[in-house]
Structure 1
Amino acid sequence: MIGGESCQQSVAKFNTKTIQWSNMPDINIVRRWPSAVNYNQQILLMGGSNGTTYYNSVEMLDLNDENPKWDSNLPSMGEKRGLFASALLNGLVYCAGGNNDTGRLSSCESYNPEERKWSSIRNMNTKRGQLALVSARGLLYALGGLDDSNTKTNTAECYDPRNGKWEYIPPMKTCRFGLTAVVLNNEIYAIGGHDGSNYVSSVEKYNLDTKNWIDVPSMSEKRYGGSACVLDGLIWVFGGDGGKTVEFYDPATNKWQVSTNMDRERDCPCVLSI
C-alpha cells in the first residue's frame, strides 16, 4: 500500500495470513493521486501531484533486490497526470485519463518496461478523472469518473490494442467517481466511489460473457478513494476518505467481511498484491 492523502510518501505491507502490517521504504517524493502497477515484482509508481504541481515522473521499487530502494531513474510519462488509472496488459503498462493543469484528460499512453519507452495510444471517447482501469481478456476497461464538465458518469468503455480503438460497453447501474475496480472469475467489479451526492458502499460486477452489470452485496463501509486488489481468490479493499478498515469479499459466500484496520487512515492509496 503506497501513499494516500495523509501519508503521501509512506509504504506499508500487509500480510493477509497473519493480519500484520510492516513498513517498506518510503517513496522519494510526495505524490498525491499517483497510480501503480506490479510488473514482475517491480512496483512502478507513476505521476501524481504535490498539491500544486502535477508529475509525469516514475519511480520503481524492485522487490527482487535483497534491500530494495525506490529508483527514480526511469523514463517519464508523456503527459503529467494525477487522479488517473493504470493497468497491465500483454506485458505493457497502460495509463489512462486523470487530471493535470489543462483539466481532465482523455489521453492514454503505454509503457514497454523492456524497451523503457512510453508511447501514446488513442484517446478515450470520454475525458475521465478519478476513473478505474482494469484489463481482462486482452482488453482494457475504463470505468466511471468525472468528465470535463465535472459531471459524474456511469459510462464505461474498452480498448482493443489490436485495432487501437475505444468502444463503449453497457453503462454501470450507478454513477461512480473515486471508485476502485478489480477482475475476478471473469467478472469486473466496480467498487464504491461517489455517486455525485454521497459516498457509496455499493458494488456491481460486469460479466464478460453476458455483458450485463449485476448488483453485488454492499461493503460494510462507504468508500470514496478506496483501493482494491485480488489475492487468493478474494477481493481486498483498503481505506478511502476517512476510513481505516480493511475488508474482503469472498465470491463463494457472496459476503463481505471486515478483517482489520489499516496502519493509519489512507485516502486514495495505491494497493497491489504481491
Structure 2
Amino acid sequence: MIQHITLTIVLICTHQTVSASLTITFNPLQVCICPPIFSTSGRLFGGSTCCTPSTPIIRQAVVLLGGIEVINSDGTGGKTETFSCNVTVSDTEPRGGLDAAVLNDQLFYCGGAYIGVDFITKECYRNDKGNWLTVESMTEERIFHSMTTVGSLILVMGGFSTMEFRASVEAFDGLRWIKLPYKLSSPRAEHCVVPISSTEVVVIGGSYSERPDLIVEKYNIYTGLVSTIPSKSPETKGHACALKDKDIYISGGFQFDDGIGQSFSSVQVLNIETLQWRTIPSMNFKRVGHTMENLNGVITVFGGRNGFSSGDSAQKRTLEKFDGSKWTLEQMQFEHLDHASALVPCD
C-alpha cells in the first residue's frame, strides 16, 4: 500500500516567514523524497516540483557527447559514443565545453562553444527517441561549467562566458530555468561537482585565483550555505570526479605554478563522512579535459588530452577502468576531448 506523508517546514528569516512542504512517498519497493525549493512566491518553477517513483535502475550506460578541437571528416564535432550497453542517442551540435545530465530518465545537454566559431551558447537540448529537441535555454551562456542532477533538479554552476568567469548558479526542473539567489564563493570553470544528497553538492577545483591548495566546498543547493573541506592537494582545473559509495574520486587536471603549467595522472579520494583524503594508483596517462563516471560500480575515465597539447594524443581515444588496485586501458571508437558524459538507463 502506497502512503504519502507531507511535512510542513516553517523558516523564520530576517524580514519574512518562509514555508515549504516536503513530500515523501512510501512504497514497499520504492522511496522517493522530493526536496522543496523555498520561495516567498510559493514555487520557483512551473510544472512538477516533485519526482516520480520509478523502478531502481539495475544497469546503466555511459553516453559521451560533443567535444572540442576534434573535427570529423564531415566537419562536425565529437561523435556520440556509448559504453556498457546500447542506447539510442544521436550526435550533438558541433560544440565543446558543454555538459550533460539526466533528469527523470531524460538526457539533457547545455552550453559550450560551437567549434570553429567564437560563440558561447546558453542553448539546451533534450534527447527524445534518439533525436535532440530544443528546450528552454539557461539564463546565461556558459562553457566549461558543471551540470549536475541533484534531487529533482539539474544544477548548473560556474563556467566561462565571453567576458568573464562565472560564479552564478541556476537550476532546471525539466521545464524552466531560474537563476538562484546565491553564488559560488569565487568564479569557477573546468571544475567538477558531485551530489552527495538530495540537497547538497561538493564543488571541487576550477578556481582561477592564485591559491596553493585545491578548493573543495560543500553547498546546500537551496540556501547557498557553504562549508570548506580542507585539502592538501594542488589546485587544479580540467580534472574529473565521481562518487562511489562514500568516496569522491578526483582524477588528473592541470595547474599553473609561477607561470609554468603542469598536468597530472594522479587520483585523489575524499571520504565524505570522515573528510579524510587518500591517494590511489595513478592513471596510465595524464589527463585534462576528460570525464569520469561510476559505471555500474566501476570508476571509469574517458578521453581528454595530455596536458596542454591537444594534438594526436592517445588520451582522446582511450578510457581507463579502476579495479580497486590498478587502471586498465581500453580503446574507444572515437576521440573525446572537452566533451560531456552522463549515465543513462540501458535500452
Q: Structure 1 residues 152, 204: CA separation in 2 closer, same or farther (over 3 Å shift)?
A: same
Give the distance between the partners of 2:66 and 2:187, measured in 1 at CA. Answer: 25
Match of 2:252 among 192, 196, 200: 192
Measured after TM superposition, the shift of residue 175 of structure 1 is 2.0
Measured after TM superposition, the shift of residue 22 of structure 1 is 8.7
- 1:140-183 Cα deviation digits (max 9, x unpaired): 11111142x57786111111135322222213513210011100
Give the distance between the partners of 1:158 and 1:206, measured in 2 at CA. Answer: 12
Match of 2:338 among 253, 257, 268: 268
Q: Does 1:178 align with 2:238?
A: yes
Q: Structure 1 residues 187, 22: CA separation in 2 closer, same or farther (over 3 Å shift)?
A: closer
Give the distance between the partners of 2:341 and 2:225, measured in 1 at CA. Answer: 28
Question: Secondary structure of the residue that 2:167 maps to in structure 1?
Answer: coil
Match of 1:107 among 168, 190, 193: 168
Q: Does 1:13 align with 2:82?
A: yes
Q: Does 1:82 align with 2:154?
A: no
**1:246 corresponding residue in structure 2:** 319
**1:116 corresponding residue in structure 2:** 176
Q: Does 1:256 align with 2:324?
A: no
Give the distance between the partners of 2:79 and 2:232, measured in 1 at CA. Answer: 34
Q: For residues 1-274 of structure 1, what are the structure 2 equivalents within 5 Å? A: 1-5=64-68, 6-7=70-71, 8=77, 10-15=79-84, 24-27=89-92, 29-50=93-114, 51-62=117-128, 65=129, 68-72=130-134, 74-113=135-174, 115-137=175-197, 138-147=199-208, 149=209, 154-171=214-231, 173-196=233-256, 197-241=261-305, 242=313, 243=315, 244-250=317-323, 253-258=324-329, 260-274=330-344
Measured after TM superposition, the shift of residue 79 of structure 1 is 0.9
1:152–1:177 contact (8 Å) kept in structure 2: no
Question: TM-score with structure 1 length normalisation?
Answer: 0.87
Question: Secondary structure of the residue that 1:272 maps to in structure 2?
Answer: strand
Q: Structure 1 residues 34, 100: CA separation in 2 closer, same or farther (over 3 Å shift)?
A: same
Give the distance between the partners of 1:144 and 1:95, measured in 2 at CA. Answer: 15
Which has the higher Rg, Structure 1 or Structure 2? 2
1:69 is aligned with what amino acid? N
1:109–1:118 contact (8 Å) kept in structure 2: yes
Give the distance between the partners of 1:193 and 1:36, measured in 2 at CA. Answer: 19
2:247–2:271 contact (8 Å) kept in structure 1: yes
RMSD between aligned alpha carbons? 2.1
Question: Secondary structure of the residue that 1:247 maps to in structure 2?
Answer: strand
Segments of 5+ residues of structure 1 without an aligned counterpart are none
Give the distance between the partners of 2:248 and 2:183, measured in 1 at CA. Answer: 22
Q: Structure 1 residues 128, 134: CA separation in 2 closer, same or farther (over 3 Å shift)?
A: same
Identical amino acids, percent of aligned pairs? 24
Give the distance between the partners of 2:300 and 2:332, measured in 1 at CA. Answer: 12
Question: Secondary structure of the residue that 1:83 maps to in structure 2?
Answer: coil
Question: Secondary structure of the residue that 1:201 maps to in structure 2?
Answer: coil
- How many residues are treated as equivalent by the alignment? 259
Question: TM-score with structure 2 length normalisation?
Answer: 0.70
- 1:34-64 Cα deviation digits (max 9, x unpaired): 11002233111001112411111101113xx
Measured after TM superposition, the shift of residue 15 of structure 1 is 2.8
Measured after TM superposition, the shift of residue 121 of structure 1 is 4.0
Q: Structure 1 residues 179, 171: CA separation in 2 closer, same or farther (over 3 Å shift)?
A: same
Question: Secondary structure of the residue that 1:95 maps to in structure 2?
Answer: strand
Give the distance between the partners of 1:271 and 1:234, measured in 2 at CA. Answer: 15
Question: Secondary structure of the residue that 2:142 maps to in structure 1?
Answer: coil
Segments of 5+ residues of structure 2 without an aligned counterpart are 1-63, 72-76, 306-312
